[in-house]
Each structure stands twice: as structure tokens, then as C-alpha cells.
């Protein structure tokens, strides 16, 4: 994993349970780990550099009951 790193460089695609894409990066982007949802932060800390993972994040570790933008809980 990334250990004590505070930033990650990732390319990602966010999908809803029905397969609808709600967000994605066109190319790799830098993110501060403390600025991403809990479920993503947990996965990124465990992910080896260069790995490609599919991560399923429950709403409690994502946007919760409030949702975010057009995302409903």
C-alpha cells in the first residue's frame, strides 16, 4: 500500500450499483487522501502502486444518507 503518503495519483471511474458512470477522470489526477471519501481512502492505503482495483464502497463510507450533487443515497 501507500503507507504514510498524503497524496495519490490515480485514474478512476465511479459507477452506481446499476453500472451508470457518475464520475471519472480523463487522465490520472492528484488527490490529497484527506479529501476523498472514507471508502476510497481505505482502499488506496492498501493498494500497491500500479495496481488496478475494482472497489465497492457502501454508502456509509461514501456519501451517506445525504448524497452528493446529483447522487442520491
Residues with Cβ within 8 Å of 19's Cβ and at least 6 positions away in sequence, in order, are: none
Residues with Cβ within 8 Å of 12's Cβ and at least 6 positions away in sequence, in order, are: 23, 24, 25, 29
What would the CATH number be for the domain defined by 7-61? Answer: 3.10.50.40
* Residue 72's pLDDT band (cuts 50, 70, 90): low
Q: Where are the domains of the chain?
A: 7-61
Give this prediction's pTM.
Answer: 0.76
Check residue 38 and give its pLDDT.
Answer: 94
Check residue 59 and give its pLDDT.
Answer: 86
Q: What is the pLDDT of residues 15-37, one digit of tens each?
A: 988 999 989 999 999 999 999 99
Q: What is the pLDDT of residues 37-57, one digit of tens each?
A: 999 999 999 999 899 999 999
Amino acid at each position: 500500500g501507500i503507507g504514510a503518503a498524503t497524496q495519490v495519483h490515480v485514474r478512476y471511474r465511479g459507477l452506481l450499483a446499476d453500472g451508470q458512470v457518475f464520475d471519472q477522470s480523463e487522465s490520472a489526477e492528484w488527490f490529497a487522501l484527506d479529501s476523498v471519501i472514507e471508502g476510497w481512502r481505505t482502499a488506496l492505503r492498501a493498494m500497491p502502486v500500479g495496481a488496478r482495483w475494482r472497489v465497492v464502497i457502501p454508502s456509509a463510507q461514501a456519501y451517506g444518507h445525504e448524497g452528493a450533487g446529483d447522487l442520491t443515497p
